[in-house]
Amino acid sequence: MSISNKSLKIYNSLSQKKEDFKTINPSKVGIYVCGPTVYNKVHLGNCRTFISFDLIVRFLKHIGYDVRYVRNITDVGHLEESEEEDKILKRAKIEKLEPMEVVQKYTNDFREVLNKFNLLSPNIEPTATGHIIEQIEMIERIIDNGYAYEKNGSVYFDLMNFTKKYKYGKLSNRNLDDIINESRELFGSDEKKNPQDFALWKKASSSHIMKWKSPWGYGFPGWHIECSAMSHKYLGKKFDIHGGGMDLKFPHHDCEIAQFEAVYNQNPANYWVHTNMLTLNGRKMSKSTENFILPENLFSGESDMIEKGYNPMVVKFLMYQAHYRNTLDLSNESLLASEKGYNKLMQSFFDIDILKPSEKGNDKYKLIVDKCYNSMLDDFNSPKLISHLFELSKLIDDIKKEKKFISKKDIDNLRNYMKVFLIDILGFSTHKNIERKVVNKDKLIDALIDIRDFSRKKENYEISDMIRDKLNSLGINIEDK
Ligand code: AMP
Ligand code: ZN
């Protein structure tokens, strides 16, 4: 079994009731998630990945782990092999900004969007440019160990040498031959010993703006080395979970494993967790293919593919209705269904406050609560969790209609568990307002005047006078001629 397929069933060994979780010794869990490259606005696909890891972090915290959550910001060096120019530099030229202005602008955008989804901030959010020294040190160690070489001021990872001792491509299950066959005209290929070698450090031309001094001259780091250097700095040689979207398995994460093995002789993570892709019209949501939707447009309703704006919590609910390992397609229909489902669950949560306690107890909820915990213990299965929350919702409805009874103490427990799952673990927030498209004010006033005219025709003067007075109080005077 490849390590990428290992599920997190390890947590099944824990007891399943929250009371029991409380008794486990809190131990440190280290999680590293590859963050965004901040050269443009994040799309909903990116958000899906970060939303999935928020659930994982929240659940591990809830069951008593002391989590250190590290999520980086890639603010330099994200260079595809086929590209000549850094995406951030390209963007800076287009927007006529300093590269660091581009970085700040889109880092701010990223944080604002994740706040709308009510995601927890990571404990550490390191930037690649803030860790150049650590990256250079790691590259030096890879060279010292014989797994990298310098050529014309650039440094490349020596895959031929590496594969004499280690397997390369553990996550993607690719072998070197596949990679050779896949490689077309690769960036810097005339300098590489073998076309599949990847860059650890790139020499910068004199006109290149983002560059740093190194033992090999002025240059900038390759993409993969930043995550190895920063995960090691903040989580050590072995940590629990390393995550990101599925598209990062290769080359990014396979290269990270190789770099780590080249220095520390081991894979850095106990579990590699990859989220599957959010699709739009059945195709991967992605900026480069223009097949994407921005969160702000989904919230405001300004998109041709949706008929109205949706609350960020509804969008998040939709995402949690699919397991993070499965693909999920975004559509107006699925959003409408999620809106109904989300509102129903939240309504049930609020309805607990109006349940009438009786002498008779009812502990049916305890069985369902166990099923909720079991779903999360089974590789963070959020769709299963949600289906069990609907069972709780049905029970609440039955008690409300007095078809079933419950004691005061059990009402309190039920409220507490609904809060645990909806607010603490799924991270829904009860005070996020729906941001709808701004309706034209004049059109709204015309509509009210039409209603008033209609009421007058029907001789319903009570309503027509009320509309006139309300509008007058807003400074809009209506005179009947
Ligand atoms: P990037 O800024 O391109 O490195 O992407 C940031 C994160 O979003 C990475 O973990 C990607 O794997 C993830 N990602 C990109 N596109 C999608 C998508 N359509 N669905 C889910 N995750 C995605
Ligand atoms: Zn990374």
Average pLDDT per block of 10 residues along the chain, 481 residues long: 29 38 62 96 97 97 92 80 72 92 97 98 97 98 98 96 95 80 60 92 87 96 95 95 96 97 97 96 89 95 90 97 97 95 97 93 90 94 98 97 93 94 94 46 81 89 88 81 66
The architecture (CATH level 2) of 279-435 comes to Orthogonal Bundle (1.10)
Rounded to whole angstroms, the Cα distance separating 433 from 441 reads 20
Ligand minimally distant from the alpha carbon of residue 257: 2
Q: Which residues surround ligand 2, an ion (CB under 5 A)?
A: 34, 227
Q: Which two tokens stand for residue 350?
A: 């609020």
Residues 377 and 472: their CA atoms lie apart, in Å, by 59
* Pocket flag, ligand 1, residue 52 (CB < 6 Å): no
**Contact by Cβ (8 Å): 309, 430:** no
Closest CA to 106 of 73, 149, 142, 154: 73
Reported pTM: 0.85
**φ, ψ for residue 148, nearest 5 deg:** -150, 155
Nearest CA to ligand 1 atom 17: 45
Residue found by looking up tokens 């000549």 in the block: 84
Kind of pairing between the strands at 239-245 and 28-33? parallel
Residues in CB range of 320: below 8 A, 6 or more apart: 51, 55, 382, 383, 385, 386, 426
pLDDT of residue 174: 86
Tell me if residue 283 falls in helix, strand or coil: strand
Half-sphere exposure of 25 (CA within 13 A, CB side): 2
Count of positions (residues) in the chain: 481
CATH value of 18-275 in 3.40.1190.20, 3.30.465.10, 3.40.50.620, 3.30.420.40: 3.40.50.620
Query: How far is it, in rounded angstroms, from Cα 229 to Cα 344?
Result: 46
What local confidence, expressed as pLDDT, does residue 82 receive?
53
| Integer angstrom CA distances of residue 251 from 105, 169, 174, 207 | 28, 8, 10, 28
Q: Report the C-alpha gap between 211 and 205 in whole angstroms.
A: 9
CA distance 51 to 117: 8
Amino acid type, 213: K
Q: Is 49 in the pocket of ligand 1 (CB under 6 A)?
A: yes
Beta carbons of 309 and 300 less than 8 angstroms apart: yes
Q: Is the Cβ atom of 309 under 6 angstroms away from ligand 1?
A: no
Asked if 201 and 216 count as a contact pair (C-beta separation under 8 A), the reply is yes
- From ligand 2's centre to the CA of 64, what distance in Å? 27
Residue type, 13: S
Q: Give residue 379's identity as a one-letter amino acid code.
A: D
Supply the pLDDT for residue 445: 84
Rounded distance from Cα 231 to ligand 2 centre (Å): 9
Q: Helices marked H in 63-202 — which ranges?
A: 87-95, 99-116, 132-144, 159-165, 176-182
Residue 46 Cβ inside 6 Å of ligand 1? The answer reads yes
Q: Report the Cα 134 to chain-centroid distance in Å.
A: 27
Cβ 273 under 6 angstroms from ligand 1: no
CA–CA dist 466, 380 (Å, integer)? 54
Tokens of 216: 């090999």
Nearest CA to ligand 1 atom 4: 36
Q: How far is the CA of 262 from the centre of ligand 2 (A)?
A: 17
